[in-house]
C-alpha cells in the first residue's frame, strides 16, 4: 500500500490538537510558568491514584479551537507511570471518528496502550497510541505517547467550517 493509497482509504481525520500534557516534579512551578507568566487560565483539576497523577487543566485560546495544557505531577515520584518523564508527556489529537480510527490503525499495525477506548479526564472518549511498536504491532509513536480523542460535534463542525473558508 502506497502512502497516497493509505491517505485515500483512511476513514477518519485528525482535526487538530486538543491538548498537550506537561509533567514536572512540582505542579506549582509549572502553574507559575503557564498561568502566572504566560497567562493561561486554570479551568479544572484531575487526580488519579491509578494513573499516578495530580493535574491542573489550563486553557490557551477560547471556544472549540482552545487547546488544553495539562500540568501534571506524580502523586508518588517513585511509582509508575511517571507523568513527569518525559516532561512533554503526551499530545492529544481531536479525531472525528475515534472507533473507526482505532480499527483502521490497528489493522495497519499500530500498537495501542492497554485500556482501549474509555472516558478520559477531559470527559471525551479517548485511547493512547503506545510510544513504541512491538513485533506484532510495529507502529508506535516513535517515543511519543499520543492520545486520540473523539471530537464532539461542535468541534467537527467548526473544523469543517474553517476548512471550507476561503484563504486570505
Residue position matching grid coordinates 479544572: 44
pTM assigned to the model: 0.88
Quick: pLDDT tens for 46-64.
999 999 999 999 999 989 9
> If DSSP states are collapsed to H, E and C, what string results for 80-101?
CCCCCCCCEEEEEEEECCHHHH
Q: Is the dihedral of CA 80, 85, 86, 88 positive or negative?
A: positive
- Exposure string of 122-153, with b = 16+ CB inside 10 Å and e = fewer, is bebbbbbbbbebeeebebbbeeebbbbbbbee
Sorted by sequence, the CB contacts under 8 Å of residue 109 that are 6+ apart come out as: 133, 137, 138, 139
Quick: pLDDT tens for 103-154.
999 999 999 999 999 999 889 999 999 999 999 999 999 999 999 999 999 9
90, 82 contact by CB (below 8 A): no
Q: In the sheet that 14-23 helps form, which strands lie side by side, from edge to edge?
A: 41-48, 53-60, 67-73, 14-23, 88-95, 145-150, 125-129, 118-119
- The CATH fold assigned to 13-164 is 2,3-Dihydroxybiphenyl 1,2-Dioxygenase; domain 1 (3.10.180)
Confidence of residue 9 (pLDDT cuts 50, 70, 90): confident
72, 23 contact by CB (below 8 A): yes
65, 16 contact by CB (below 8 A): yes
User: For all residues of the chain together, what is the average pLDDT?
Assistant: 93
58, three cell numbers: 489550563
Amino acid at each position: 500500500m502506497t502512502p497516497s493509497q493509505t491517505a485515500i482509504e483512511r476513514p477518519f481525520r485528525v482535526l487538530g490538537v486538543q491538548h498537550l500534557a506537561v509533567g514536572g516534579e512540582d505542579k506549582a512551578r509549572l502553574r507559575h510558568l503557564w498561568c502566572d507568566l504566560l497567562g493561561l487560565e486554570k479551568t479544572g483539576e484531575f487526580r488519579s491514584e491509578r494513573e499516578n497523577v495530580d493535574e491542573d487543566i489550563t486553557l490557551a485560546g477560547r471556544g472549540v479551537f482552545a487547546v488544553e495544557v495539562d500540568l501534571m505531577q506524580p502523586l508518588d515520584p517513585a511509582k509508575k507511570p511517571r507523568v513527569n518523564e518525559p516532561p512533554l508527556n503526551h499530545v492529544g489529537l481531536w479525531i472525528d471518528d475515534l472507533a473507526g480510527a482505532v480499527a483502521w490503525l490497528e489493522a495497519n499495525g499500530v500498537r495501542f496502550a492497554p485500556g482501549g477506548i474509555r472516558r478520559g479526564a477531559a470527559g471525551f472518549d479517548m485511547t493512547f497510541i503506545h510510544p513504541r511498536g512491538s513485533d506484532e504491532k510495529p507502529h508506535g509513536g516513535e517515543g511519543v505517547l499520543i492520545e486520540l480523542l473523539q471530537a464532539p460535534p461542535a468541534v467537527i463542525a467548526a473544523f469543517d467550517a474553517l476548512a471550507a473558508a476561503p484563504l486570505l
